[in-house]
Structure 1
Amino acid sequence: MNERHKEILQLLQEQKEISVNLLSEHLGVSGVTIRQDLSQLETQGLVKRVHGGAVLNDTDDISTRLVFHYNQKITIARKAASMINDGETVLLEAGSTNAVLAKELTQKKGLTIVTPNVFIARELREYYDVSVILLGGVYQHQSESLIGTLTKLCIDHLNFHKAFIGVDGFTPAAGFTGKDMMRAEIIAYIVQKSPQVFVVTDSSKFGKMELTRYFGAEDVDYVVTDKRIPTKERAFLEQAGVKVVLA
């Protein structure tokens, strides 16, 4: 995927629908080139062509979501990794930022990573110095997460020092929210079990409310995000006792 494709996807995430003419003007290329770009992105399942433009495909697929705000996710993941010590056991729930974090953690020594997410486990398959525990459960095809009673039983039998959770939204009224109702129960269970809870997410998620409430600010110890977090949401979190760490 080239830089122009990434910029098209970023614009679509911000505006939901955008015309070929506007993309052509913004990116300084011809309409023919933009149509070719959109056709390639549609083939990859990232966008859907509509008359005169395109809309973003709404998906929980991690490999797709990795594209959005990728530079921020790398910065956030590196900051989060610096807060993890050699020899610890950490749980990475799911989400694109956690997928980037998983790769960053391969530089640590004696680390054990627990995850209910197949994508994250697969990202670590070539790193033999990292111990990986993949939780059991019912497999969600699109998100590649494992959910259900068996997943909770696995969590019950494990201890970990820190849990890292990805979210889709946060507002002071709704708390931390997400699009996936099926994962919500497992996320709440992880948060209840973990001695320390870290939210890792880029600043675009703040001020947004999604369908399902995952947990509240009172359940979180740290939020690791980028410097564009809105002042209102940051102040609310800090007043609630959450340590906001800027990457």
Structure 2
Amino acid sequence: MNSRQQIILQLVNDRRRISVSELARASGVSEVTIRQDLNLLEKRSYLKRVHGSAVALESDDVDARMMSNFLLKQKLAQYAASLVNDGETIFIESGSTNALLARYLAERKRITLITVSHYISHLLKETDCEVIVLGGMYQKKSETMVGPLTRMCIQQVHFSKAFIGVDGYHAETGFTGRDMMRADVVNAVLAKGVENIVLTDSSKFGQIQPNPLDPLSQIGRVITDSRLNLDYQHLLKRQSIQVDLVNE
């Protein structure tokens, strides 16, 4: 993916739907070139083309998700890193914001990092950070480990904090995930009773996904952005969850 295609993907993910003509103006190239780029990005399952426009997909590909709200995710990751002390052993799940957190920590702090994400482990290969990658069944699209072996590995390792991603939160359901097997991994982490921290942007609030992440009582803190609706802020606090808001 070249730099122009990365910009196109970021525009599509930020706007959710954008016309070919708008992309051409923003990129400074012809609509013919944009259509060629969109054909390639659609072929690689980064977006969908419809009636002269491009539409964002809910992709499991970490690179694709990274392009959506990148600067905000970077700020969330930097804030989350401030909660980690030198010498700690921490668990970082999968996802784009967690990947940014892992890289930020690996470059600045002396920690041991446990993860199920091969994307994260590859991201840290040039750093001095000690990385433990848990085993299991490899999900190729999300580049993460899942399944009964992963759950067993989680039960056998020790860490003081866990940073997890979510795909939804609603008053009726609590936190939820899109993928059943990745939700199972998160639930195995929550069952350990360590300091569990949800790291997500506010767009996930109000959404309901199929797979519950519980027990809710094991989530102690949420780090999100300042656009979070006040109703959700109050609801989380009533559930004894600390809410840390990061300015955009």
- TM-score norm. by structure 1 comes to 0.89
Look up the match of 2:209: 210
Q: Distance in 1 between matches of 2:143 and 2:187?
A: 18
Look up the match of 1:229: 228
Q: Distance in 2 between matches of 1:205 and 1:26?
A: 30
Deviation at 1:44, TM superposition (A): 4.8
Q: SS of 2:222's equivalent?
A: strand
Look up the match of 2:79: 79
Look up the match of 2:12: 8
Q: Distance in 2 between matches of 1:26 and 1:177?
A: 38
Q: Does the C-alpha gap of structure 1 residues 161 and 26 become closer, same or farther in structure 2, counting only changes over 3 Å? A: same
Q: Distance in 2 between matches of 1:6 and 1:61?
A: 14
Which string of whole-angstrom CA distances, capped at 9 and with x for unpartnered residues, describes residues 108-145 of structure 1?
443000001111111111112x1100001111111111
Deviation at 1:95, TM superposition (A): 0.9
Deviation at 1:50, TM superposition (A): 2.6
Look up the match of 1:133: 132
Asked if structure 2 preserves the Cα contact closer than 8 Å seen for 1:163 and 1:194, the reply is no
Matched, 1:151 2:150: yes
Asked if structure 1 preserves the Cα contact closer than 8 Å seen for 2:193 and 2:218, the reply is no
Q: Does the C-alpha gap of structure 1 residues 31 and 184 become closer, same or farther in structure 2, counting only changes over 3 Å? A: same
Q: SS of 1:234's equivalent?
A: helix
Which string of whole-angstrom CA distances, capped at 9 and with x for unpartnered residues, describes residues 186-208 of structure 1?
11010111410000001111111
Look up the match of 1:183: 182
Q: Does the C-alpha gap of structure 1 residues 239 and 26 become closer, same or farther in structure 2, counting only changes over 3 Å? A: farther
Which string of whole-angstrom CA distances, capped at 9 and with x for unpartnered residues, describes residues 17-42 of structure 1?
44435x36985966456435534533
Q: Distance in 1 between matches of 2:67 and 2:27?
A: 21
Look up the match of 1:52: 52
The 10-residue stretch of structure 1 (100-109 or 189-198) with the greater mean CA deviation from structure 2: 100-109
Look up the match of 1:88: 88
Backbone CA RMSD of aligned residues: 2.2
- TM-score norm. by structure 2 comes to 0.88
Q: Which runs of 5+ in 1 are unaligned?
A: none
